[in-house]
Amino acid sequence: MPLVRIDVLQDRAAEQLPAIGDAVHRALVAEIAVPERDRFQIIARHPPGLLVFDPEYLGIHRTAHIVIVQITMSLGRTLEQKKALIAAIARNLSALPDLRPEDVFVNLVEVVKENWSFGNGIAQYAV
Amino acid sequence: MPLVRIDVLQDRAAEQLPAIGDAVHRALVAEIAVPERDRFQIIARHPPGLLVFDPEYLGIHRTAHIVIVQITMSLGRTLEQKKALIAAIARNLSALPDLRPEDVFVNLVEVVKENWSFGNGIAQYAV
Amino acid sequence: MPLVRIDVLQDRAAEQLPAIGDAVHRALVAEIAVPERDRFQIIARHPPGLLVFDPEYLGIHRTAHIVIVQITMSLGRTLEQKKALIAAIARNLSALPDLRPEDVFVNLVEVVKENWSFGNGIAQYAV
C-alpha cells in the first residue's frame, strides 16, 4: 500500500540503490505494520542541479548524498507512529555507506484506504 | 484535472506507451466524467531494480510488465465511482499486448478542486 | 516544506532549468511565506510523447514548452493565498524565454504539517 518514491543524485552508485529501498521498507514494516510483501517503490537518479536542495535549511547540513523519500500511504496512523516511521527511515538509511541522517528528507502523503488497487482491477482495501 | 503518473520498466517497448496512456485516460473519461481533453500524463520508464514490486503481495502474481498508475484528481467521487475507475483502468490496460490485470497497480491521490491551474495563472476550478 | 516536482519536455535546454526552479520558488516565498531556504525540487525532462498534454483543454493553447508543476505542501493556506501562488508561478515562469503563461500547469497536493522531515529523523513541523 505505500507507494514510495525515492529520489537521489545520479552520482550515487547504482549498487547502493537496492539497500536504500530496503532500508525504507524495513522502517515501514517495523513502525507502521506494513506487510513485508507490500513493497512498491520507484527509485530515480537525477543529474546534479535537477534535484535541488538547500544545504542549510533549519540548520541541518545537507550534501549531495541527499535522499528524498516521498511515501503515499493510507490515513490512520497516529502522530507517534509517523514520528517513529520517520526516525526509523533516517536510522536505517544512515547505517548505509555515504548516508548521513542529515541527508534524509521525508514527506508523507496520506490517502483514504479505498484508493489502492494491487492488481486485477479491484480496490482491495475498500470496505 | 487528473495529473496521471505512469511508471513502467524500461524493457517495455516505447511504442506501447501511448496506448497505455490512452487506456488510462479512457477509463477516467468513462467512469468519473473527466472531460476528453483534460489529459495530462507523465510516463516514465525505469531500469530493472529501480521500479521495485512484490511479485506475490495479496496472492496476486505480478511480473516485470507491471504498470504503476498514480492519479492525482479532485475530491468528490464516490467509492462506487472509484471502484469503477480502478476496474476500467485494469480492463482497458489488460486489453493491450504484454499486459495482464494482475500487473495493474493503481493509487488515487485526491485534492480539493481549487488546487489546479490549467494555464494562465488561474485556478480554473476554484469557485 | 514544499516538495516541488517540475516536469518538462526534454528539448527544453538544460540551462533553462535552474531559472524555472527559481521562478517557482520565488512564488512560494512571496505568496505563501515559504522560507527562502526551504527549497527542495525535483526537475525532470521527458521524451516527446511521454509528457502528454492536451493542446486546447479549456480553450488554453498549450505547446511543447509546457511546464507541469506539482507542489506538495502543508495544509493551512487560504483559497486567496493559493490563487495568488498560482498566479505568481505563472507570472514568474512566463518572464523566462520560451515560456508562456498558457504553458504553466500547476497542481497543489496538501498534507498535514507533521508529515515532513528535513533531516535527522525528526518531524520538525510536528507540534
CATH number at residue A63: 3.30.429.10
3-class secondary-structure state, position A38? coil
Give the CA angle between residues C12, C18, C19 to the nearest 5°.
85
Instruction: Flag whether B120 is in a domain.
Output: no
pLDDT tens digit sequence for C17-31: 999 999 999 999 999
Could you tell me if residue B121 is inside a domain?
A: no
- Interface contacts A/C by beta carbons within 8 Å: 104
Show Cβ contacts of residue C38 under 8 Å, excluding neighbours closer than 6 positions: A54, A57, C1, C2
> What would the DSSP string read from start to end of A63-96?
-TT-EEEEEEEES---HHHHHHHHHHHHHHHTTS
Residue B86 lies in a domain: yes
Are A49 and C109 within 8 A, CB to CB? no
Q: Total structural domains in chain C?
A: 1
A126 domain-assigned: no
Q: Please say whether the beta carbons of A24 and C121 come within 8 A.
A: no
Three-class SS string for C86-111?
A: HHHHHHHHCCCCCCCHHHEEEEEEEE
What's the complex ipTM? 0.97
Give the residue-averaged pLDDT of B89-117. 98
- Chain C residues inside the 8 Å CB shell of A26: none
C12: left (phi over 0), alpha (psi -120 to 50) or beta: beta
The C-alpha cell 537521489 sits at A8
Residue B66 corresponds to which amino acid?
A: I
pLDDT classification of B97: cutoffs 50, 70, 90: very high
Reported as a pLDDT band with limits 50, 70 and 90, residue C1 is: confident
pLDDT (mean) for B10-25: 95
C88/B119 touch (CB, cutoff 8 Å), yes or no: no
| Structure confidence by residue, pLDDT tens digits, C57-114 | 999 999 999 999 999 999 999 999 999 999 999 999 999 999 999 999 999 999 999 9
Q: Which of A38, A114, A117, A124 to mutate to test the interface with B (most CBs of B within 10 A)?
A: A117
How far is CA A66 from each of CA A18, A53, A90, A98, B70, rounded to the nearest angstrom? 16, 8, 11, 9, 24
Distance of alpha carbon B16 from alpha carbon B33, whole angstroms:
25
User: Stretch B62-84: mean pLDDT, rounded?
Assistant: 98
> Is B109 within 8 Å of A41 when comparing Cβ atoms?
no
CB distance B21–C52 less than 8 Å? yes
The rounded average pLDDT for each run of 10 residues, N- to C-terminus, in chain A (127 residues) is: 96 94 98 98 97 98 98 98 98 97 98 98 95
Q: Is the pTM of this model over 0.90?
A: yes
In angstroms, the separation between the Cα of residue C123 and the nearest Cα of chain B is 22
Q: Which chains touch A (3 or more CB pairs under 8 A)?
A: B, C
Tell whether B119 is covered by a domain. no
Query: Which residue range is the domain that position B58 belongs to?
Result: 3-111
- pLDDT of A111: 98
The average pLDDT across B104-127 equals 97
Residue C124 is assigned to a structural domain of this protein: no
Inside any domain, residue A117: no
Residue B96 pLDDT: 97
